Amino acid sequence: MDKFVMIIFGASGDLTKRKLMPALYSLYKDKRLKGDFFIIGVGRTVYTDTDYRAYIYSELEKFVKPEDQDKEWMDAFTQHLYYLPIDPAVEAGYVRLRERLEELTGEKEPDNLLFYLATPPSLYGVIPLHIKKAHLNRGHARIIVEKPFGYDLESARELNRIYASVFGEHQIYRIDHFLGKETAQNILAFRFANGIFEPLWNRNYIDYIEITAVENLGIEDRGGFYDSTGALRDMVQNHLIQLVALTAMEPPAVFNADTFRDEVVKVYESLTPLKEVDFEEHIVRGQYTASGNKKGYREEKNVSPESRTETYIAMKLGISNWRWSGVPFYIRTGKQMPTKVTEIVVHFRETPHQMFHCEGGHCPRANKLILRLQPNEGIVLKIGMKVPGAGFEVKQVTMEFSYNQLGGVPIGDAYARLIDDCIQGDPTLFTRSDAVDASWRFFDPVLRYWKDHPDAPLYGYPAGTWGPLESEAMMHEHGAEWTNPC
C-alpha cells in the first residue's frame, strides 16, 4: 500500500486536541495505525513541526486517560506529526500542501490521503474545492467532515453538491460521533440479536419513547461556534435523530453499509411532518440563565448579550409508519443540566387490568426499558415483583446489565472507531448524503418558523436545572413525565 497521510484542517483547534489526537494515539498504540504514515496538521496558527509535536504531546497528557498514557508510545506517535501553517480558506496554500505531501511520502502523486475537516463549518464548502484544484482528490483520497453538515436544508444541499463535484460518495465520510459509540451500535444488537424484544417493539406494546442527551457543562470556550449554531443544529439534527433511527428502524435483511443506511433514511422519511401546532406546543426551546456560581448563556465569552440561541430543546416527534403510528418520541438535549447522561427510555403499555392492591392504590403497571448510552453504560429493565410477605403488594424492581460486567473489556472511543473505519474504507457508521437531506427536510421548517416568528418563546432555565417547565407540560399532555436520571 502507498504511504498513508492524514491531513487535519483545524489542527490547532479544540476538536483536534480533545478528540482526534487522543483517538489517533490510541489507534497507534493498538497498532491499528502503523507502517509509513504521516499526520499533517494544517491551520493558521504558526508552528514548526517540532513545536507542534510538543504542543500535541502536552495535550495528550491532558486528554488521554492517565492509565493509557505511555511516554514511549506518546513520543513515538508524535514523531509522525507534521505541521503546515497555511490559511485553509486560501487556494495558494494548497500548492504548498501538495509539495509537502510529495516531499514527505517521496511519491510523485501521493493519493492515499485522508482529509479531516475539524474547522469551523464556514470552511466546509471551501476546502474541498481547493483540494480539487490542487488535484489532491484522486485515487484513494477520502474526506471526513464534521457535523453540522449544513446550516439548513439549502446550505446542506449546496454542500452535498460541492462534495459530489470533488469526491465520489464512497470517498465522503460525514461523521456523527454518536454512531461511533459502542452503546449506540449495541441498540441494533439488542434489538436484532434477541428474539424476545422485537415482537414487542411496536405501537401495540410501546406507549412512548424518551431520548435524552444532556450535559452538565455550558458551552465552555466555544461561544463563537455555538452562538451561530444552537442546540437544534449542534445535537438534534444529527446525534439525536440518529438515536431515533437506531431505535425505530426496521432490520435490514443483510447488514452492510448500504442496507443499514437505507433503513436509517426510511425512518427520517417517515417522520411526521411538523405542523403549526407542533411549532407552538411540541417544541420547547430554552436558554440557561445564571444560577449560583454558574454564568448565564448570555454572559459567556463570544456570545451576544441579546442572543436568542437555544441551549435546550425538547420535541415531540411522530413516525408515520405501521410500526410506530401513534407512538410519541420525546427527545431533548440541553447544556447546563444537572448531570451528563445519554439514554433511551422505552415505556411499554400498561397491563390491561390490575388485580393487585397496593399501598396507596398505585401498583406499577408499565414496564420500562432503559438503554443507557453514557455514563454507567448499560441496560435496565423495570419489572413488577411481589413484595415478600403477606398480601399481594407489587413493587417495581430493576434488572440490570452494566458494561462493567464484561470484565475489563474497555469500551472503545467513538472517534477512534470511526477514524479506523474510514481508514479501512468502511462507511457504514457515517451519514450518507440522502440521510443529511432527509433529516434537514424534517428540521428545516423549525428553523424557518423561528426565523419568521422572532417572538416565538425561548424560555429561560436556571443553569443546573432540568430545563424549562414548559417541556414538562408537553409530557403532561401524554399523562407522562420526563425520566430524569440521577
Q: How far is the CB of 272 from ligand BG6 (least distance, A)?
A: 26
Site string for ligand BG6, 336-355 (x = CB under 6 A): ------x-------------
Q: Are 191 and 252 in contact (CB under 8 A)?
A: no
Contact positions with ligand BG6 (CB under 6 A) in 234-253: 234
Q: Is 215 among the residues that bind ligand BG6 (CB under 6 A)?
A: yes
Check if 239 is active-site: yes
What are the distances in angstroms from CA 432 to CA 170, 246, 419, 445?
9, 15, 16, 21
Q: How far is the CB of 215 from ligand BG6 (least distance, A)?
A: 5
Tell me if 11 is assigned to a ligand binding site: yes
Q: How far is the CB of 201 from ligand BG6 (least distance, A)?
A: 25
The values of phi and psi at residue 350, to 5°, are -70, 155
Tell me if 395 is assigned to a ligand binding site: no
Nearer to ligand BG6, 82 or 173 (CB): 173
Q: Is 111 among the residues that bind ligand BG6 (CB under 6 A)?
A: no
Tell me if 469 is assigned to a ligand binding site: no
Q: Is 376 among the residues that bind ligand BG6 (CB under 6 A)?
A: no
DSSP, residue by residue, 169-233:
GGGEEE--GGGGSHHHHHHHHHHHS-TTTGGG-STTTEEEEEEEEE-SS--TT-HHHHHTTHHII
The contacts of residue 252 (CB under 8 Å, 6+ apart) are: 259, 260, 262, 263
Q: How far is the CB of 436 from ligand BG6 (least distance, A)?
A: 15
Site string for ligand BG6, 414-453 (x = CB under 6 A): ----------------------------------------
Catalytic residue among 130, 140, 170, 239: 239
- 135-140: Cβ within 8 A, 24+ apart: 135/98, 135/109, 136/94, 136/97, 136/98, 136/101, 137/166, 137/167, 137/171, 138/109, 138/111, 139/2, 139/109, 139/111, 139/112, 139/113, 140/2, 140/111, 140/112, 140/113
Q: How far is the CB of 447 from ligand BG6 (least distance, A)?
A: 17
Nearer to ligand BG6, 59 or 215 (CB): 215
Nearer to ligand BG6, 36 or 215 (CB): 215
Tell me if 118 is assigned to a ligand binding site: no
Strands 378-386 and 394-402: antiparallel
Tell me if 13 is assigned to a ligand binding site: yes
Binding-site residues for NADP(+) sit at 10-17, 44, 147
User: Binding residues for ligand BG6, per CB under 6 A?
Assistant: 215, 234, 342
Catalytic residues: 239
